[in-house]
Amino acid sequence: MYDMKALHEAKSVADAVRLLQEYPQAQIIAGGSDVLVQMREGKRAGAELISIYGLDELRGVTMEEDGTIRIGSLTSFSHITKDPVIQKYINVLGEAVDMVGGPQIRNIGTIGGNTCNGVTSADSASTLFAWDAVIELTGPEGVRRIPIKEFYIKAGKVDLRPGEIQTAILIPKEAYEGYQGHYIKYAMRKAMDIATLGCSVNVKLSDDKKTFTDIRIAYGVAGPVPMRAVHAEAEGRGLEVTKGNIGKIGDTVLEDVTPRDSWRASKAFREHISKLLCKRALKEAVRRAGGMSMTAEDGSASVAANAPDHENTATGEKKEAPASISGASEVSGTAKHTIMTDAESGKQYKLVRCRINGVERETMVDVRASLTDVLRNDYSLTSVKKGCEVGECGACNVMIDGECYNSCIYLAVWADGKEIRTLEGLMGPDGELSDIQQVFIDEAAVQCGFCTPGVIMSAVEILESGKEYTRDELRKLLSGHLCRCTGYENILNAVEKTMKKRLGKL
């Protein structure tokens, strides 16, 4: 159970604004990958939350009449990466958000949440700075739009006024037309880690591809908030595209960046790699823009993972509501049911109907419960393990509407109307194992078995895509899991073997 005071579900943007006015101390929860983790850590313990998770009007990417790319604030990272508009016009943003956490985090995490938390390490933020993004905010006074550089005030603080929510991120046509870019994230690990430093570069070249017409260089973790290297940009405009000039531009970023010492890296190290990443990102951006191909004399063109590696027996009886529950005001969004309050205890509940492993289920859910709690306690689905409970180990991984999620950071009330699959749902009617379960045994991919159910559910999502992946791509797709027995190679072998068998290539 999460330690929350109350949960209110918005049924529209206007309703969310109303709720913020009615409950001024309440905090917005979108995907929850930050809010719920911080609540578990005690930083937001006892908070009152307003959920906008059900507002599908805030999801998706569209192209407006004037060419502006509109990204709804609830659009998940994985959907941004796969979106055809993003891929065609600003693919570097898709690449950047494809480095956030692991696959399950990218399925639940939203670009609005990633920018509204105000942290400098957000992978989307520096790239949005390099695209001259505009933030759309909706509140009691209507809609206002501000440049992203004005949205960030200080570390952990953004320009969200009382009663406002972020509704979209806009990329004007003039900000992307004719530009090509690249993002590099330097981190200790290739997945499930935040950036030690991030650098995003966009370039526009002259018609003959020999001159920098414009350059935008943005950083994360180079200061208290994401920033642009304005002196380096000015230095580069009008210069000939040469290795020497790229080096000159990269060296100039020290006039802009203000990194600090931390346990992750020293100030001196961050200053060093800020120059290095800029040069490497510039070279790749030039190559993508059709300019001269340059091999980095200081090593390969990347430091960390720089581009997407892929295209991107339930049992349980119906639970009766406490007799004293009285109906609350209707605050449900796209969900079918409303939150109700127990008049005696003050606890909140919601009737949740969903399909679990192909069977229609119904239960009265405490709003503080995670989906892990409900699957284990109400339906005895013990394949869903309780591990870290902060979305890092993947032991609680389940499929929701065809995508994998860490159920520990997914509120059970959000499951209303969803299709949920767990390991138990893979078995045949007489308990026979599915092919992926059997191959885990054959390849000795099962050791202690604690992580195995979650890993297999990720494998199911991979296999049901019908695509063939390289071994490195499979590693990335499985990167949201920690195997304490370190049996990664056998796990990889099992998934690869099943994939090839299903594709008729083995």
* One domain for residues 75 and 185: yes
Does any domain span residue 80? yes
- H runs (alpha helix) in 400-487: 435-442, 452-464, 471-477
Q: How many domains does the chain have?
A: 3
Tell me the pLDDT tens digit for each residue of 364-407. Answer: 999 999 999 999 999 999 999 999 999 999 999 999 999 999 99
Which of these three, 374, 409, 424, is where a domain ends? 424
Question: Which residues lie closer than 8 Å to 242 by C-beta, 6 or more apart?
Answer: none
pLDDT of residue 344: 86
The band of 316, judged by pLDDT with boundaries at 50, 70 and 90, is very low
Structure tokens that stand for 169 in this block: 């991120």
What is the reported pLDDT for 294? 62
Residue 325 has pLDDT above 80, yes or no: no
What residues have CB less than 8 Å from 330, skipping those under 6 apart?
Answer: 11, 338
Residue 469 belongs to a domain with what CATH number?
A: 1.10.150.120
Distances (CA, A) of 259 to 231, 253, 270: 16, 12, 6
Rounded to an integer, the average pLDDT of 86-94 is 97
> Does any domain span residue 312?
no
- Report whether pLDDT(288) > 80: yes
Q: How many CA atoms lie within 13 A of 169 on its CB side?
A: 29
Structure tokens at 298: 């200081």
The torsion angle over the Cα atoms of residues 64, 68, 74 and 79, rounded to 10 degrees, is: 90
Q: Are 88 and 73 found together in one domain?
A: yes
Tens digit of each residue's pLDDT (9 = 90 or more) over 240-258:
999 999 999 999 999 999 9
* Domain match, 49 and 103 both: no
419 lies in some domain: yes
For the chain, what percent of residues have pLDDT higher than 70?
A: 91
**pLDDT at position 295, please?**
52
Tell me whether residue 357 is in a domain.
yes
Residues 403 and 458 in one domain: no
In this structure, the strands spanning 419-421 and 397-400 are: antiparallel
181 and 211 part of one domain: yes
* CA separation for the pair 33, 49 (Å, rounded): 14
In a domain, 334, yes or no: yes
- Give dist(CA 126, CA 95) in Å, integer: 12
Last residue of a domain, one of 246, 271, 288: 288
Give mean pLDDT, residues 494-504. Answer: 98
Q: Is residue 299 part of a domain?
A: no
Q: Residue 303: pLDDT above 50?
A: no
Q: What integer best gives the mean pLDDT of the chain?
A: 91
Q: What is the largest CA-CA distance in the chain?
A: 76
Nearest CA to 277 among 189, 200, 391, 181? Answer: 200
367: domain CATH number? 3.10.20.30
Mean pLDDT, residues 203-222 taken together: 97
Q: Is residue 108 part of a domain?
A: yes
Say if residue 459 is in the same domain as residue 327.
no
Please state, for a pLDDT cut of 90, what percent of the chain lies above it: 87
Residue 178 has pLDDT above 90, yes or no: yes
- The reported pLDDT for the residue numbered 346 is 87
Q: Are residues 377 and 443 in the same domain?
A: no
Mean pLDDT score, 81-85? 98
**Angstrom distance (rounded) from CA 494 to CA 212:** 49
Averaged pLDDT, 397-426: 98
Whether residues 115 and 256 share a domain: the answer is yes
**Domain span including residue 258:** 59-288
Q: Tell me, what's the pLDDT at 310?
A: 36
Residues paired with residue 158 on neighbouring β-strands, in sequence order: 152
Mean pLDDT, range 177-191, rounded to an integer: 94
**Listed residues 288, 309, 344: the one ending a domain:** 288
Q: Do residue 74 and residue 91 come from a single domain?
A: yes
Residue 293 lies in a domain: no
| From 90-99, 305-314, 358-367, 401-410, the region with the lowest mean pLDDT | 305-314
Residues 200, 221: one domain?
Answer: yes
Angstrom distance (rounded) from CA 124 to CA 179: 18
> Tens digit of pLDDT for each residue in 111-148?
999 999 999 999 999 999 999 999 999 999 999 999 99
The CATH number given to whatever domain includes residue 141 is 3.30.465.10
pLDDT of 454 strictly over 70: yes
Same domain as 454, residue 477: yes
Q: Do residues 75 and 115 share a domain?
A: yes
**In the predicted model, what is the mean pLDDT of residues 143-168?**
97
